[in-house]
């Protein structure tokens, strides 16, 4: 049994959340602090460019992706180095490039490339997983004002899945935070 509330519009459409537009990055930053302090969890900020410090204003934790990428990249570089060393020094010990079979210098290029290759693949795969991509449809894309976010809009969207979400109260909180326009977003 789920305790999730489902809100409907007057037309009977399911409410996805509330979208609030702000005049500038400073207003958006301060509104993000207000939303964070209100204890809202399911929300996001949209801006045409990065805003310095917005992660702290939103209360976001450090991402684990850099750690995962570093571990996978170093591990695969070590595996590549170990495999090459085993083949050159143990299984087929021959002189190559005038160096003895157990020389490490000739192993560096392949070791480096394997590290870079697996780091890149881990970054791409991690980006897809952490961002829940591919997302073929999002309700915000129906809003004309949201589509201008890539040009000149600053938006906070609070989702109805948040436990503290009540459409009218959320709307009032965002207006008090300095929103110039607040709209319901339908599924």
Looking at the fold, whether 145 and 120 belong to one and the same domain comes out as no
Q: Provide the number of structural domains found in the chain.
A: 2
pLDDT of residue 1 exceeding 50, the answer is no
Looking at the fold, whether 172 and 151 belong to one and the same domain comes out as yes
Quick one: pLDDT at residue 3?
57
Looking at the fold, whether 84 and 107 belong to one and the same domain comes out as yes
- Strands of 181-186's sheet in order across: 43-46, 154-159, 15-22, 181-186
| Average pLDDT rounded to a whole number, residues 84-97 | 89
Q: Is 131 helix (H, G, I), strand (E, B) or coil?
A: coil
pLDDT, one tens digit per residue, over 92-123 is 998 877 888 888 988 999 999 999 999 999 99
φ, ψ for residue 18, nearest 5 deg:
-125, 135
d(CA 68, CA 81): 20
Cβ 58 vs Cβ 92: under 8 Å:
no
Looking at the fold, whether 123 and 147 belong to one and the same domain comes out as no
Looking at the fold, whether 126 and 147 belong to one and the same domain comes out as no
35: exposed, middle or buried (Cβ count in 10 Å: 0-12, 13-18, 19+): buried
Looking at the fold, whether 55 and 79 belong to one and the same domain comes out as no
Looking at the fold, whether 72 and 86 belong to one and the same domain comes out as yes
| Average pLDDT rounded to a whole number, residues 164-182 | 96
Q: Let me know how long the chain is.
A: 187
Would residue 50 count as lying in a domain? yes
| Cross-strand pairs, 20 | 156, 182
Cβ 177 vs Cβ 34: under 8 Å:
yes
Mean pLDDT for the chain overall? 93
Q: What range defines the domain where residue 155 resides?
A: 15-60+137-186
pLDDT, one tens digit per residue, over 21-72 is 999 999 999 999 999 999 999 999 999 999 999 999 999 998 899 999 999 9
In CATH, what number is assigned to the domain containing residue 163? Answer: 3.30.70
Cβ 45 vs Cβ 27: under 8 Å:
no
> Of 130, 148, 166, which one is at a domain's C-terminal end?
130
Looking at the fold, whether 151 and 114 belong to one and the same domain comes out as no
């Amino acid at each position: 049994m789920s305790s999730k509330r489902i809100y409907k519009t007057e037309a009977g459409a399911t409410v996805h959340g509330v979208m609030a537009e702000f005049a500038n990055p400073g207003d958006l930053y301060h509104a993000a602090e207000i939303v964070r302090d209100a204890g809202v969890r399911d929300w996001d900020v949209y801006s045409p460019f990065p805003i310095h410090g917005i992660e702290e204003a939103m209360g976001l934790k450090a991402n684990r992706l850099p750690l995962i990428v570093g571990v996978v990249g170093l591990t695969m570089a070590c595996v590549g180095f170990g495999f090459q060393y085993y083949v050159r020094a143990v299984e087929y010990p021959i002189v190559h490039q005038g160096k003895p079979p157990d020389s490490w210098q000739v192993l560096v290029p392949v070791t480096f490339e394997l590290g870079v290759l697996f780091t890149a693949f881990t970054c791409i795969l991690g980006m897809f997983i952490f961002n829940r991509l591919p997302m073929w449809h999002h309700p915000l894309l129906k809003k004309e004002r949201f589509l201008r976010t890539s040009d000149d809009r600053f938006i906070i969207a609070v989702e109805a899945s948040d436990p503290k979400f009540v459409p009218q109260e959320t709307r009032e909180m965002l207006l008090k935070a300095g929103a110039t326009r607040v709209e319901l977003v339908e599924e």
